[in-house]
């Protein structure tokens, strides 16, 4: 039977059939030629070793290739750390997690610095010696201090004299009590407005939102 017919019946290529015929020619009848050794370098790790590495990574995803290399000196003494990484990432298909590089400046920090530079870009050295917030802080706080002191006292006397005593005809003691209550309510409203304005203008707000 010719090689062409054998290749057609077995659905092999003629080249493979010729190679098998030449390899089996010197052998006795009924003997099989030795299997051809695969090309390339010999695999450094066995399937069992790969399963051990995979099992450790699945149980503890934070373990690294260098840790496994030090943990199993008997299995990986002839293997480089890079080979262990290739087994875990390429052959076993396990994902890698790398810590992101922390930026030097976040977006909130950049925004704060840009706003600060724009606000004081025309200042001279003499202005910086005086301080950047002395006048602005006093101008912002003084109206609220005046309102917190004047408005509660004024509301106390106004409501006591014109509302509770004249219109409602309450006694002096009762008018004093209700007038004090009105003054305390107005004081709390002013304090809430002052805190809201300070929180709104604070630079910490922008960093919290970002």
91-146 per-position pLDDT tens digit: 888 877 766 678 889 899 999 999 989 988 888 888 777 765 555 666 667 777 77
User: pTM here?
Assistant: 0.33
DSSP, collapsed to helix, strand or coil, labels residue 106 as: coil
**SS3 of 109-161:** HHHHHHHHHHHCCCCCHHHHHHCCCHHHHHHHHHHHHHHHHHHHHHHHHHHHH
Phi, psi (degrees; rounded to nearest 5) at 85:
-65, -40
Contact status, residue 69 vs residue 84, Cβ threshold 8 Å: yes
pLDDT in tens, 144-157: 777 778 888 888 88
């Amino acid at each position: 039977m010719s090689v062409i017919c054998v290749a057609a019946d077995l659905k092999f290529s003629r080249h493979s059939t010729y190679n098998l015929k030449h390899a089996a020619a010197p052998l006795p009848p009924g003997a099989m030629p030795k299997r051809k050794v695969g090309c390339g370098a010999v695999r450094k790790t066995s399937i069992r070793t790969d399963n051990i590495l995979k099992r450790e990574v699945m149980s503890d995803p934070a373990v690294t290739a260098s840790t496994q290399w030090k943990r199993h000196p008997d299995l990986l003494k002839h293997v480089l750390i890079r080979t262990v990484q290739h087994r875990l990432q390429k052959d076993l298909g396990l994902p890698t997690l790398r810590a992101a590089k922390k930026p030097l400046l976040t977006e909130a920090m950049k925004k704060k610095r840009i706003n600060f530079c724009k606000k004081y870009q025309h200042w001279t050295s003499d202005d910086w010696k005086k301080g950047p917030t002395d006048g602005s802080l006093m101008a912002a706080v003084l109206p609220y201090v005046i309102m917190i002191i004047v408005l509660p006292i004024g509301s106390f006397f106004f409501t006591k004299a014109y509302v509770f005593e004249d219109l409602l005809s309450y006694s002096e003691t009762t008018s004093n009590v209700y007038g004090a209550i009105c003054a305390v309510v107005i004081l709390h409203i002013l304090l809430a407005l002052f805190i809201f304005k300070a929180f709104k203008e604070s630079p910490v707000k922008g960093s919290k939102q970002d």
